[in-house]
Structure 1
Amino acid sequence: MANPFLHGTVHEAGEDLQAAVRSVPGVYELWESLTPLGRNEFICWVEDAKQTATRQRRIERTCEEISEGKKRPCCWAGCIHRTDKAPSRWQQAVLIDRRGKGGSSAD
């Protein structure tokens, strides 16, 4: 039986992300070594994709970045869904920008 998949503090990884992380040699072990907040950031970044193609690219990039030793996704403002802290200025700017564009962002 496979080990239970470790999720983030707020988000749970979708089956496609779980399968990708488990399928790339060494990535699952690195995934397990991330903090729950680190895993949460990667999951949130993948879940934030609006299009299937964007989601797939983010899943592939997640595996690459984890393989490179990154602990958080590159160029991501951070999870805005956490309730344990207020959004940062950067996150607030992203939220305001999205509201001005009808609640969506270009992917």
Structure 2
Amino acid sequence: MPINSRFQTELLRPAKPGSDDSWAFLVLPKNISEQLPRRGRTTVEGTINGYHFQSTLEPDGQLSHWLKVSEALQQAAGVSVGDKVTLDINPVAAEPEPEVPGDLQEALAATPEARAVWEATTTIARLDWIHWIVSAKQAKTRAKRVGDTCNMLAEGKRRVCCFDTSGFYSKAFRAPEAAAHSHGTDS
């Protein structure tokens, strides 16, 4: 039976949006996250103010999740930063196959033993491997993780070890910091 979680929360502007300042975010209440199947990345479908969407929630490092809300989704749902939004969400029945980053694709293509184990793992395991790689803060660390991934897979390891997908124990992940004045669209 699917979980149906309904809640209201504020749509926030990130303090540091990077080169694309068109997105917003929201943080799920902890009691809603606790109903989801995992503390790590989890794909949900549902509605935001009645508009259907499917997206992958990110771990916030506090055993909850946050959702990046693109400009297109904001426009389609008729919502703006500072609005109280109503969400109805459910975890998807089957996690969608993750997009494999180019550097990992190349490394797997060059390591047939690793590729064979990669293809034999679950979608959730592949999602965790990719999450571990893309969460690296530096290019050097990312390159090492790609190599380590291929080595571990070639040894028959199907799951990335020692990686806290929730970020709670390692504090590797967190929701973006909200801008001081999130209300309204003027900066």
Q: Is 1:68 paired with 2:155?
A: yes
Q: TM-score, normalised by structure 2?
A: 0.39
State how 1:1-107 maps to structure 2 within 5 Å: 9=96, 11-78=98-165, 80=166, 91-95=167-171
State the structure with more CA Rg.
2
CA distance in 1, matches of 2:118, 2:97: 16
Unaligned runs of 5+ in 1: 1-7, 81-90, 103-107
- The TM-score normalised by the length of structure 1 is 0.65
Secondary structure of residue in 1 paired with 2:112: coil
Q: Is the 8 A contact 1:62 1:73 kept in 2?
A: yes
SS of the equivalent of 2:168 reads: helix
Paired letter, 2:108: V
**Higher strand proportion (structure 1 or 2):** 2
Structure 1 residue 76 displacement after superposition: 0.3
CA distance in 2, matches of 1:9, 1:45: 17
User: Per residue, is there more helix in 1 or in 2?
Assistant: 1
C-alpha RMSD of matched pairs (Å): 2.3
Aligned pair count?
Answer: 81
Gaps of 5+ in 2: 1-94, 178-187
Q: For the residues of structure 2 that align with 1:14 and 1:98, how far apart are their CA atoms?
A: 19
Q: How far did residue 9 of structure 1 move?
A: 4.2
* Identity level (%): 33
